């Protein structure tokens, strides 16, 4: 991996080490926030909430592939198990929404520690393969365990009252809560990759032996990034369960792991805004193609093939190249 001339994230220029946010990124961020604030009054809010949950999921995934160079093919495990945990907590234990989301996120974090500790020593294809297998283990657990409801999933999860005062049953209120959660996650990822910690991650990605020889314990850095990525994926999954009032097997299935790879790849690996753009495109596409059944899979596969063969920078990566600044 270290010797490959074109590692997964190098098509995009490395971000500057400066800790201040460059003007064009501030501008892009402001534009994104403005769009997302106006959007629910123009577009169906449930669609937007779904896209935001996946955008957060993709950002969390991108933290790992874009900045550590690790392709996890099992991220559905974190999304799905957090969804089950928060749905169960809200429905069966009667947790208020903030506690349910926190609990789901915590479950994903612990799972991240467990899986991460076992997998982080491997790299490249091995890492992808092993994370996939672990996710499949979680999937079969979800199929068989009693509390997940098997094929039915956990249905009718109450959204409840946020902090006891904010009624989440109203779609617009729910939307702005989801938006706040997404922005929180987005900023955490942004802060992480622009911190000294993030610089070490990039150093490990570019040349692991050299980073180790400089005295960095590469495995620790990678593990922390993995756990952070799992935690934020969990945050996305826990939120998604409350939005749809449902936790189901779809979210732990390996096709979901593939989907987040596709979103990130399409938007631009290792770009700040790419995963968000990719998630909105893919969710929009799925919405549009929903009536066509199996064609969704075919279109997804075709986009995968095209992206890998000729469009490796992704939408945002290409845009960034056009304006000659990383986005």
Partner 1 sequence: MTTQALFGQLLIGLINGAFYALLSLGLAVIFGLLNIINFAHGALYMMGAFVAYFLLQWAGLGYWWALLVAPIVVALVGTVLERTMLRWLYHLDHLYGLLLTFGIALVIEGLFRNEFGSSGLPYSIPDALRGSYNLGFMFLPTYRAWVVVFSLVVCLTTWYVIERTRLGAYLRAATENPTLVQAFGINVPRMITLTYGFGVGLAALAGVLAAPIYQVNPLMGANMIIVVFAVVVIGGMGSIMGSIVTGFALGIVEGLTKVFYPEASSTVIFVIMALVLFVRPAGLFGRTA
Spatial contact of 79 and 240, defined as CB atoms under 8 Å apart = yes
Q: Which stretch binds partner 1 (CB under 8 A): 30-38, 124-132, 172-180, 315-323?
A: 124-132
Q: Is the CB of residue 193 less than 8 Å from the CB of residue 15?
A: yes
Binding residue (CB under 8 A) for partner 1 from 51, 132, 174, 252: 132
For partner 1, the closer CB: 81 or 136: 136
Please pick, from the candidates 44, 93, 288, 295, the single residue that binds partner 1 as defined by CB under 8 A.
Answer: 295
Q: Which stretch binds partner 1 (CB under 8 A): 81-89, 128-136, 155-163, 178-186?
A: 128-136
The Cα–Cα gap between 81 and 83 comes to 5
Query: Contact letters (x/-) for partner 1, 81-120, by CB under 8 A?
Result: -------------------------------------xx-
The nearest distance, CB 135 to partner 1, in angstroms, is 9
Neighbouring residues of 285: CB distance < 8 A, sequence distance ≥ 6:
296, 299
Segments in the chain forming alpha helices (H): 23-38, 45-67, 76-91, 97-119, 124-144, 171-193, 196-206, 208-213, 218-244, 254-267, 274-289, 295-310, 314-322
Tell me the residue length of the chain. 327
Exactly one of 134, 186, 273, 280 binds partner 1 (CB under 8 A); which one?
134
7 binds partner 1 (CB under 8 A): yes
Give the up-direction half-sphere exposure of residue 81: CA atoms within 13 A in the CB hemisphere: 28
Which part of the chain contacts partner 1 (CB under 8 A), choosing from 55-63, 146-154, 279-287, 294-302?
Answer: 294-302
SS3 277: helix
The least distance separating partner 1 from the CB of residue 167, rounded to whole angstroms, comes to 41
Among positions 12-41, residues that touch partner 1 (CB under 8 A) are: none
Using the 8-state DSSP alphabet, how is residue 13 labeled?
Answer: P
| Interaction of residue 151 with partner 1, rule CB under 8 A | no
The stretch near partner 1 (CB under 8 A) out of 33-41, 137-145, 161-169, 232-240 is 137-145
Q: What are phi and psi of 109, to 5 degrees?
A: -65, -45
Kindly give the interhelix angle for 274-289 and 45-67, rounded to the nearest 10 degrees.
Answer: 140
d(CA 203, CA 206): 5
- Distance between CA atoms of residues 266 and 299, nearest Å: 13
Among 22, 98, 102, 141, binds partner 1 (CB under 8 A): 141
Residues 6+ apart with CB under 8 A from 46: 171, 243
Instruction: Please list, in sequence order, all residues whose beta carbon lies within 8 angstroms of the beta carbon of residue 125, skipping any fewer than 6 positions away.
Output: none
* Residue of the chain from 140, 147, 172, 288 that contacts partner 1 (CB under 8 A): 140
| Least spacing, CB of residue 132 vs partner 1, in Å | 6
* Smallest separation, CB 189 to partner 1 (Å): 21
Among 81, 148, 271, 300, binds partner 1 (CB under 8 A): 300
**Alpha-carbon distance 302 to 266, whole Å?**
12
126 lies in the binding site for partner 1 (CB under 8 A): yes
Q: Is 243 exposed, middle or buried (0-12, 13-18, 19+ CB in 10 A)?
A: buried
Q: Which of 202, 194, 198 is nearest to 9 (CA)?
A: 202
Residues 36, 243, 303, 316: which binds partner 1 (CB under 8 A)?
A: 303
CB of 301 to partner 1, least distance (A): 3
| Binding positions for partner 1, rule: CB under 8 A | 1, 4-8, 71, 73, 118-119, 121-122, 124-126, 128-130, 132-134, 136-137, 140-141, 143-144, 254, 258, 261, 265, 293-298, 300-305, 307-309, 312
């Amino acid at each position: 991996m270290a010797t490959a001339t074109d590692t997964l994230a190098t098509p995009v220029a490395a971000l500057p080490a400066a800790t201040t946010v460059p003007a064009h990124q501030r501008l892009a961020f402001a534009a994104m926030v403005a769009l997302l604030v106006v959007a629910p009054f123009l577009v169906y809010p449930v669609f937007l909430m779904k896209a935001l949950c996946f955008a957060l999921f993709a950002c969390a995934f991108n933290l790992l592939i874009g900045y550590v160079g690790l392709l996890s093919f099992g991220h559905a495990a974190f999304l799905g198990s957090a969804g089950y945990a928060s749905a169960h907590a809200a429905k069966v234990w009667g947790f208020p929404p903030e506690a349910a989301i926190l609990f789901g996120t915590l479950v994903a974090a612990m799972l991240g520690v467990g899986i991460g500790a076992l997998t982080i020593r491997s790299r490249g294809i091995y890492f992808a393969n092993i994370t996939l297998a672990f996710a499949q283990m979680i999937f079969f657990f979800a199929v068989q365990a009693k509390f997940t409801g098997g094929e039915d999933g956990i249905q009718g999860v109450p959204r409840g009252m946020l902090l006891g005062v904010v009624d989440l049953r109203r779609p617009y209120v729910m939307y702005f809560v989801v938006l706040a959660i997404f922005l929180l996650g987005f900023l955490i990822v942004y802060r992480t990759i622009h911190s000294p910690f993030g610089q070490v991650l990039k150093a490990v990605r570019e040349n692991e032996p050299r980073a180790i020889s400089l005295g960095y314990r590469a495995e620790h850095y990678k593990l922390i990034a993995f756990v952070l990525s799992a935690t934020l994926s969990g945050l996305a999954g826990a939120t998604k369960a409350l939005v749809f009032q449902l936790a189901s097997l779809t979210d732990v299935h390996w096709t979901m792991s593939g989907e987040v790879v596709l979103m990130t790849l399409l938007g631009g690996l290792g770009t700040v805004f790419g995963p968000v753009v990719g998630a909105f495109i893919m969710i929009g596409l799925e919405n549009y193609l929903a009536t066509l059944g199996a064609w969704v899979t075919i279109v997804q596969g075709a986009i995968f093939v095209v992206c890998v063969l000729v469009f490796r920078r992704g939408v945002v990566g290409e845009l960034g190249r056009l304006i000659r600044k990383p986005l």
